[in-house]
Chain A
């Protein structure tokens, strides 16, 4: 169309040939080479990259597991045992995949905590936040479907309990549940479709992650001080500075996940799932995976079937509107003296909900779950809009470079970690 458009010139003629037809090389150079990152970003900003790497690891290990897995009620459990005993390195594939799922959630939770605490969800990154919540939902669905596949007792009864949630919907509930299962109970039809969906959803996630990354690159990354890049002095190039930083984070992550895979591969697994599924016997305690436990606690805290289901899904859906519930223009909680503590309280509360979600729903545990439920929704509906209205934020630095100026009061906080030395900063802007 436009023969006059400017084509990037490289020394290598092959690159020029490609670039003229598909400007992918200059795209990568722009988005991953010269892409400016705020120079005060700390290690919290490495978790997006870690999550991407984990997603790829999950997809790869999953494909290799699928080569040896049989999605049939009579053979699924045995095929998993065959993977563990007979397939070369099958045990490694499976432990990478099962522990990888748990670590994926750890990383994504830290990623979400970072986005909430430093206000990354606010203008102009709201759509990015929405895409992120969407990814989180897809992840929960995928992990639930995958947990059914080994066809152990927890797989079977977990699938039974979760699909029964749909029967809470008035009038169409029972019909909907039967349609989802393809049977009157969790059976072979269910296992087949769960396998098909578990295989395809990660690729959907991968696509949404692509949009998520593209969206954040439009306005650039947020940072611990929540202020925009104003001059070239405020940023460093992604390559090599942030790439190296992400690589260090990746090495630390690799050590952590390897320690679990090789020395405690079943730490986060339920022993009951090593018993083949039996539709006639329910295990004494049905527990969800720990990473879904906070939502499970909310479900059980409500003494009404439909109400519990609505609040549980509501607890996730509420995240979509967080950018509009928070009226404060200040992004980073480092500059919000009141909201900061409510935010920390929210994280502690979420952790407490997860803890009681793994325990029987009775006595003190039930009480804690109910208080936690109140705080969870109170935080979004009352605290977040109200505090934004009454709070007087502390004085924001004039620019990111200003944070490092010596005459700034030391109580500003934020960005202590991973701060490049002044010598390096200058180096980067050559």
Chain B
């Protein structure tokens, strides 16, 4: 009783207990938070293989990848030339057409407007394609060109190009 409390020892014990408790709590919380990120079966559905042999020149198809629409377009000679002619420095989101395609005639885009997430028109022949003959977003009027780049309207960025590889001449793997 008469002994003076050893404060250094107490401080050490207190600090190490609190630290251990905090680390333990964090280690306990982590699996719970992690369980909310995509599960294995969701990740397994993260890549899609597409057969492109039936697509004609000038035609475009829409497929679903990770729950989002992906546009695959076989561009005509005119469309490719129109896309190449633009000076990248004149654009809102400067990018050369060559940086957006692997093979000139195949354009692959995530079909989600970079403004607020609507799906732009332009996939069907009858659709409005906007002033630059690419895609036109009906929600707030963004115009995209034949390379999927933003040219007019509120969208800040070009349409995204998803990661993809040509498995052979007629198959693309997206994701």
Contacts and interface: CB of A to CB of B under 8 A. Distances in A.
A68 B31 contact: no
A392 B31 CA distance: 57
B41 A82 contact: yes
B1 A423 contact: yes
Given A86-B39, A86-B41, A426 B1 contact: yes
A64 B1 CA distance: 50
Contacts of A90: 35, 39
B32 interface: yes
Contacts of A88: 31, 34-35, 37, 39-40
Interface in B21-56: 31-32, 34-37, 39-42
Nearest to B24: A254
A305 interface: no
A67 B40 CA distance: 15
Contact of A60 (B32, B40, B42): B32
A89 B1 contact: no
A64 B32 contact: yes
A427 interface: yes
Contacts of B35: 64, 67-68, 87-90, 93
A329 B64 CA distance: 76
Contacts of A427: 1
B10 to A, nearest CB: 11
Contacts of B36: 64, 67
Interface residues of A, number: 17
B166 to A, nearest CB: 30
Nearest to B29: A60
The secondary-structure label for the interface of chain A is helix
A292 to B, nearest CB: 28
Interface residues of B, number: 11
Contacts of B41: 82, 86
Contacts of A85: 40
Nearest to B37: A88
Interface-centre pick from B32, B35, B40, B42 (highest chain A CB count, 10 A): B35
Interface in A74-124: 82, 85-90, 92-93
Contacts of B34: 88-89
A89 B39 CA distance: 9
B39 A68 contact: yes
A64 B31 CA distance: 10
A175 B90 CA distance: 77
B31 A92 contact: yes
Contacts of B42: 86
A92 B42 CA distance: 19
Nearest to A423: B1
B68 to A, nearest CB: 21
Interface in B1-31: 1, 31
B40 A86 contact: yes
A60 B32 CA distance: 9
A90 B35 CA distance: 6
A80 to B, nearest CB: 13
A99 to B, nearest CB: 15
A425 to B, nearest CB: 10
A64 B29 CA distance: 11
A146 to B, nearest CB: 18
Contacts of A60: 32
A265 B32 CA distance: 18
Nearest to A240: B14
B3 to A, nearest CB: 9
A423 B3 CA distance: 10
B114 to A, nearest CB: 30
Nearest to B44: A86
Contacts of B39: 68, 82, 86-88, 90
Interface in A50-87: 60-61, 64, 67-68, 82, 85-87
B31 A89 contact: yes
Contacts of B1: 423, 426-427
Contacts of A93: 31-32, 35
Nearest to B34: A88
A89 B35 CA distance: 6
A244 B42 CA distance: 44
A92 B28 CA distance: 11
B67 to A, nearest CB: 17
B59 to A, nearest CB: 37
Contacts of B37: 88
Nearest to A424: B1
A82 B38 CA distance: 12
A87 B39 CA distance: 4
28 contacts: A61-B32, A64-B32, A64-B35, A64-B36, A67-B35, A68-B39, A82-B39, A86-B39, A86-B40, A86-B42, A87-B35, A87-B39, A87-B40, A88-B31, A88-B34, A88-B35, A88-B37, A88-B39, A89-B32, A89-B34, A90-B35, A90-B39, A92-B31, A93-B32, A93-B35, A423-B1, A426-B1, A427-B1
Interface of A: 60-61, 64, 67-68, 82, 85-90, 92-93, 423, 426-427
Interface of B: 1, 31-32, 34-37, 39-42
Given A68-B35, A93-B32, 7 more contacts: A68-B39, A86-B42, A88-B35, A89-B32, A90-B39, A92-B31, A93-B35
